[in-house]
Structure 1
Amino acid sequence: MMNPNIYNIIFILGFWRLLQVCVNTEMVFKTTNIVCTGNPKYVENVICSVKARNWNNAVAYMDCDLVLPLQNTTFHLEVFKKGYNNRYHPFLVNVMIKMCDVM
């Protein structure tokens, strides 16, 4: 039997892919960095990475060890773009999803 958290990760990756498909095709976005944080009371060893599949696609991976069962899990996705002064500024997307509503 699969771990219930694997469904959350599959949903997150599917949502990220859907977001990439739905954006304007004339614009090109390149995902170079991903930051994952977790509450140390619930998760340990949080590891996130972006791996390039080819020149145009990248896949985001997340791996963590659960310490306690999760309840009322939320997923927060925020996209930033680098400005002319090499600082990151919020860009178009700031979404928070309650996973219990989706599952």
Structure 2
Amino acid sequence: MAEMDNETWLLETGHEVIVRKTEHGESALTPFERLIYCLWAADYGIRNAGDLQAAADVHPQFQEDGRNAARDLALPAALALFSLDPAGMEQAYLDRFDSVVDELRTA
């Protein structure tokens, strides 16, 4: 079986987190799940609208929550991405996407 690419992994894993969030509430999410949800929201905004406004519509605190979860989990690539200002995150997102997802997949 071929290994799943990072975009597919994020979509599938993000879907699982969204289902868990819907069934049990956001407070039931682990820091790892919160980070996946925040990255999924950012990905949704960038790939569908070209900016992070759609991400903020889905999860208003996605950047702050993502930064806090990445810090709690000691994931430097994710922390660096979520620590950028919104314009910087928009510009860097696609270039940093694979390194952040690789970091999550091995965490």
Question: Which protein has the larger Cα radius of gyration, Structure 1 or Structure 2?
Answer: 1
Task: Answer 1 or 2: higher relative contact order, Cα 8 Å, separation at least 6.
Answer: 2
The answer to which structure has the higher helix fraction is 2
